């Protein structure tokens, strides 16, 4: 249960923060956000806000989306001959259009649709109450809603609130805002971690921080803020060198050259054996050197984010030179990581959230159709050409990208299941 709760919290925060970026800047650009969804698949809960956005919670915790007016694949299909019911406002204009068999509107008018224009003319034509001898035409309110076949109620999308009606700059910013929010969240989480642990670690020095009482380092007489100059005759220049040598020698005696107050001495100690991800590693009970100033901790949030970004780009580079599904992870991997983090405490959970957030931001900026980066690339092409791409071509490109991502997600998920459960 703890793992499930941790997974849902981490997943929920990442998706909400990412999608809120798109949502916020779409609203600022005058674009109608018809739906703000957390999760994918069947709807569990839906509520239409006063801002015209329907907020939904969906069954599958594998993502989320904002459904913006005017994007072709997000429009409600109204076809001739479709039965529906209309609810009118006080002026006799259509306020709600119901095409769902799951919802009944009291005092509504049954209509067999002939044609509807919910973009420019805002009219709907049809036969009322089954009477095909007389065609009726209704004016549709600019802020009318449609109750779709699955029961979700969303606003209609007149031309002036559609995505393509916004400026190219506003659309580009709307597409970029999701990843941007992930980077901001990562920085905030690393700053919070720095305050929780009382400082920011300094990995590029051989100076250690605190020594845990009762640990092998404490029993060997190593003091706080000492410098570890060498281990087994190998020079130690930073924290990574130190941890690599210690972890490689579980239960084996090592010789260390330690500097304290300007004096050097040689000591011997035996790292205790611990397990990490099924592997035995050594541990001596020392922490990294810390900077404890407020400015240092805030700056550390930025530097840690940047260091993580560089590591992710190195990992992406390794995918190009040697692709392997084992280098990728999906929801199952995220669940496994949540399980490990939940057992190690709140700090580990926060670090995991920061790690996944910056990963989500970078991956979404890759120039792949259906990703935010692919959409931004199309925005740039439109700006250079001075006119938008043909909607059919753009739709085909986006669909190809979507199919690619879905196939890759299925392969990654199956690979994760095979790795962790078989």
Each residue's pLDDT, cut to its tens digit, for the chain (422 residues) gives 677 777 778 888 898 999 999 999 999 999 999 899 988 888 888 888 888 898 999 888 777 889 898 875 555 678 899 999 999 999 999 999 999 988 889 989 999 999 999 999 999 999 998 888 889 999 999 999 999 888 888 899 899 999 989 999 999 999 999 999 999 999 999 999 999 988 888 888 999 999 999 999 999 999 999 999 999 999 999 998 999 999 999 999 999 999 988 899 999 999 999 887 668 999 999 989 988 889 999 998 998 899 888 888 887 777 677 666 666 666 666 666 666 666 777 888 888 889 889 988 998 898 888 789 988 998 999 899 888 777 677 777 777 776 777 776 676 666 666 766 66
- Looking at the structure, tell me whether residues 332 and 415 fall in a common domain: yes
Query: Catalytic one among 19, 35, 148, 153?
Result: 19
Out of 253, 269, 288, a domain closes at: 288
For residue 210, give the CATH number of its domain. 2.30.42.10
Cα–Cα distance for residue pair 96/138, rounded to 1 Å: 12
- Looking at the structure, tell me whether residues 404 and 305 fall in a common domain: yes
Cα–Cα distance for residue pair 243/228, rounded to 1 Å: 11
- Looking at the structure, tell me whether residues 335 and 413 fall in a common domain: yes
Task: For residue 264, indicate whether it is catalytic.
Answer: no
- Looking at the structure, tell me whether residues 251 and 312 fall in a common domain: no
Host domain of residue 353: 294-421
Out of 255, 288, 321, a domain closes at: 288
pLDDT score of 74: 54
Please tell me whether residue 50 adopts helix, strand or coil conformation. coil
- Looking at the structure, tell me whether residues 251 and 313 fall in a common domain: no
Q: Is residue 89 part of a domain?
A: yes
- Looking at the structure, tell me whether residues 309 and 409 fall in a common domain: yes
Cα–Cα distance for residue pair 279/295, rounded to 1 Å: 38
- Looking at the structure, tell me whether residues 253 and 364 fall in a common domain: no
CA 319-63-371 angle, to 5 degrees, is 50
Cα–Cα distance for residue pair 270/1, rounded to 1 Å: 38
Q: Is residue 184 part of a domain?
A: no
- Looking at the structure, tell me whether residues 255 and 274 fall in a common domain: yes
Looking at the structure of the chain, the number of domains it has is 3
DSSP symbol at 57: E
pLDDT score of 404: 73
3-state helix, strand, coil in the chain (%, to 5): 45, 25, 30
pLDDT score of 15: 87
């Amino acid at each position: 249960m703890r793992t499930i709760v941790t997974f849902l919290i981490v997943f929920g925060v990442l998706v909400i923060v990412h999608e809120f970026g798109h949502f916020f800047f779409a609203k600022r650009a005058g674009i109608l956000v018809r739906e703000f969804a957390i999760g994918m698949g069947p709807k569990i809960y839906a509520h239409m806000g006063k801002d015209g956005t329907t907020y939904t919670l969906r069954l599958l915790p594998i993502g989320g989306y904002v459904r913006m007016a005017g994007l072709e694949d997000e429009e409600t299909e109204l076809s001739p001959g479709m039965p529906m019911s209309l609810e009118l406002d006080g002026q006799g204009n259509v306020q709600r259009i119901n095409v769902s068999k799951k919802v009944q509107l009291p005092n509504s008018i049954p209509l067999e649709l002939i044609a509807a224009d919910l973009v420019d003319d805002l009219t709907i034509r049809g036969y009322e109450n089954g009477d095909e001898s007389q065609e009726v035409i209704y004016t549709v309110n600019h802020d009318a809603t449609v109750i779709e076949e699955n029961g979700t109620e969303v606003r209609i999308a007149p031309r002036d609130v559609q995505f393509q009606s916004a400026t190219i700059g506003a659309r580009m910013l709307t597409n970029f805002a999701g990843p941007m929010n992930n980077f901001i969240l990562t920085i905030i989480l690393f700053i919070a971690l720095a305050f929780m642990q009382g400082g920011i670690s300094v990995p590029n020095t051989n100076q250690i921080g605190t020594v845990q009482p009762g640990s092998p380092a404490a029993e060997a007489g190593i003091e706080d803020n000492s410098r570890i100059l060498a281990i087994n005759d190998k020079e130690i220049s930073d924290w990574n060198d130190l941890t690599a040598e210690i972890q490689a020698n579980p239960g084996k005696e090592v010789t260390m050259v330690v500097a304290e107050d300007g004096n050097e001495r040689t000591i011997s100690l035996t790292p205790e054996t611990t397990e990490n991800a099924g592997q035995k590693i050594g541990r001596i009970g020392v922490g990294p050197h810390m900077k404890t100033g407020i400015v240092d901790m805030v700056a550390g949030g930025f530097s840690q984010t940047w260091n993580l970004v560089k590591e992710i780009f190195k990992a992406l580079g390794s995918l190009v030179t040697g692709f392997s599904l084992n280098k990728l992870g999906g929801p199952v991997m995220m669940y496994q990581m949540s399980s490990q983090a939940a057992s190690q405490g709140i700090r580990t959970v926060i670090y995991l959230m920061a790690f996944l957030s910056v990963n989500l931001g970078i991956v979404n900026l890759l120039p792949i159709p259906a990703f935010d980066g692919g959409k931004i690339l199309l925005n740039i092409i439109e700006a250079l050409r001075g006119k938008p791409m043909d909607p059919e071509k753009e739709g085909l490109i986006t669909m190809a990208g979507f199919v690619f991502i879905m196939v890759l997600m299925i392969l990654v998920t199956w690979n994760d299941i095979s790795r962790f459960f078989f």
